[in-house]
Amino acid sequence: MQERRTVIRDILSIYVPAFFLNIGMSIVSPILPTYARSFDVSYTVATIAISIYATGRLAADLPVGFLGDRIGRRPVMLVGIAIIAVGAFLCSFANNFWELVFYRLLQGVGSAMWQTMRQTMLQDILKPEERGRILGYFQAFTLIGSSAGPSIGGIVADTWGIRAPFIAYSLGSLVCFVLSFVLISESKNTHASHGKEKHESEGFSWPIMKRLLMNAGFITACFATMANALQRQGTRNTLIPLYGDTVLKLNATDVGFALSLATFANLFITIPTGYALDRLGRKAVLVPSLALTSIMAWVFTLTGDFTQLALACIFLGFSQGIGGQAPLTMASDSTMDLPHGISMGLFRVFTDIGFIIGPIMVGAIIDLYGMTAAFYSMAAVTFASMVFVQVFAHETLPKKKK
């Protein structure tokens, strides 16, 4: 009974910190481009302050995974949160653009430490038969924090100035640090009963990396999460705003409202998806979600006004909400007998690659072939991912014993 209570405490101690940290991360999103431009740089240069965050995360994902396997999840997570808090505070006092970029890079590294270790800890303490629904609740807390942040950030900036949201970001991270320090226990050895091999203290190992890359369930989950990240950043956060502005001639409020509907649809479907993953199976949920996401990327080319765009965003939110949880669940199932830190670090690498190349890919295709071609390309990438999962993945949800 005590062990069960400890697991519940571990889960809840990650939920609440995730809520505060994601509020902080999204608080600066409304003002970051404007703040970067305030240093008298071009629009193109200003975007470096945004993309450098993902670059720092990508560079740190694998080293963080190895470090978590060697010294433990908790210390790496706590240091990551501290780096985020300090980086946010320093951003508010940046004297020039490149100083801001450096602090954002530090935050990206801290985010990798937090993101990778939180996923590793969840893999450590969750049983396969409960993984889907628990990750569903976790994703819900994350989305609520991310949804609330931009509105709070706008109010803070209007009230106290454009640098103030970074102070709020730092304070939110500080709350996250205190809660994590008090409530989170080390989970590195929690999963020994799941049959995991004792390789975590050995550091980098080519045989382990080879096993991960040859693991059909894991690698298909990695490609699926990369396709989802590419869709989210390429279609949802880049292509749809551009399409609404230049083709449909909508104002920023209308486009923002349509994207908010996608977020709410994502949030609405998150918890039911978790239960579906545990009842129907990971592959059974992932393949249809990728198919629907591919179709919706094509449907956007048929929209001609705000109402149609909003409806398309709702269905896109549903499909991405379903598809966003399944890859992590499948990857966790497939690596129970392998070091969890490096497994989640490599999984995060694929996710961050999608986040980075999505906007770049969309921009290049628009410049060369136009906006419709960009939607078709996003649809094709997701469809290819669906076929890959259908052909090569096996169901990773353990069969119930009769």
pLDDT band at 249 (very low <50, low <70, confident <90, very high): confident
Residues 28 and 176 in one domain: yes
pLDDT band at 35 (very low <50, low <70, confident <90, very high): confident
Residues 165 and 237 in one domain: no
Q: What share of the chain is helix, strand, coil (3-state, %, to 5)?
A: 85, 0, 15
Query: What pLDDT is recorded for position 9?
Result: 65
Residues 216 and 177 in one domain: no
Determine, yes or no, domain membership for 192: no
Of 267, 8, 275, the C-alpha closest to 132 is: 275
Residues 68 and 131 in one domain: yes
Determine, yes or no, domain membership for 326: yes
Burial class (CB in 10 A: 0-12, 13-18, 19+), 268: middle
Contact 216, 393 (CB under 8 A): yes
Least-confidence region, from 6-10, 272-276, 357-361, 371-375: 6-10
pLDDT band at 187 (very low <50, low <70, confident <90, very high): confident
Structural domains of the chain, count: 2
Alpha-helical regions (H) of 216-339: 216-231, 240-246, 252-279, 282-299, 306-334
Determine, yes or no, domain membership for 51: yes
Contact 116, 63 (CB under 8 A): no
Least-confidence region, from 35-49, 166-180, 259-273: 35-49
Radius of gyration of the chain (CA): 20
- Cα(351)–Cα(359) distance, rounded to whole angstroms? 14
In the predicted model, what is the mean pLDDT of residues 288-307?
A: 93
Contacts of 377 (CB under 8 A, 6+ apart): 361, 362, 365
User: Over the chain, what is the mean pLDDT?
Assistant: 84
Residues 17 and 106 in one domain: yes
Q: How far is the CA of 378 from the CAs of 229, 235, 239, 243, 322, in angstroms?
A: 11, 7, 10, 14, 18
Whole-structure pTM value: 0.83
Query: What pLDDT is recorded for position 138?
Result: 79
Query: What pLDDT is recorded for position 301?
Result: 92
110-162 pLDDT, tens digit per residue, is 999 998 998 888 888 778 777 888 788 777 778 787 777 777 888 888 889 88
Residues 14 and 152 in one domain: yes
DSSP 28: T
306-356 pLDDT, tens digit per residue, is 999 999 999 998 998 888 888 989 998 888 888 888 889 999 999 989 888
Determine, yes or no, domain membership for 189: no
Among residues 166, 181, 196, the one where a domain terminates is 181
Residues 224 and 155 in one domain: no
Residues 130 and 51 in one domain: yes
- Cα(115)–Cα(57) distance, rounded to whole angstroms? 9
Residues 235 and 343 in one domain: yes
Neighbouring C-alpha atoms within 13 Å toward the C-beta of 19: 11
Provide, rounded to the nearest whole percent, the portion of the chain with pLDDT above 70: 91
User: Which domain range does residue 214 map to?
Assistant: 210-392
Specify the CATH number for the domain of residue 290.
Answer: 1.20.1250.20
Determine, yes or no, domain membership for 191: no
Determine, yes or no, domain membership for 65: yes
Determine, yes or no, domain membership for 188: no
Query: What pLDDT is recorded for position 274?
Result: 87
Strand ranges, E, within 63-124: none
Of 347, 257, 356, the C-alpha closest to 50 is: 356
Torsion of CA 95, 97, 103, 107, to 10 degrees: 140
Determine, yes or no, domain membership for 344: yes
- Cα(295)–Cα(312) distance, rounded to whole angstroms? 10
Count CB neighbours of 305 within 10 A: 11
Of 315, 296, 314, 306, the C-alpha closest to 255 is: 306
Q: Looking at the predicted structure, is the pLDDT value of residue 190 above 60?
A: no
252-283 pLDDT, tens digit per residue, is 778 878 887 888 888 888 889 988 998 898 99
Query: What pLDDT is recorded for position 400?
Result: 63
Residues 11 and 150 in one domain: yes
pLDDT band at 7 (very low <50, low <70, confident <90, very high): low
Torsion of CA 7, 8, 14, 18, to 10 degrees: 150
Residues 322 and 280 in one domain: yes
Residues 69 and 152 in one domain: yes
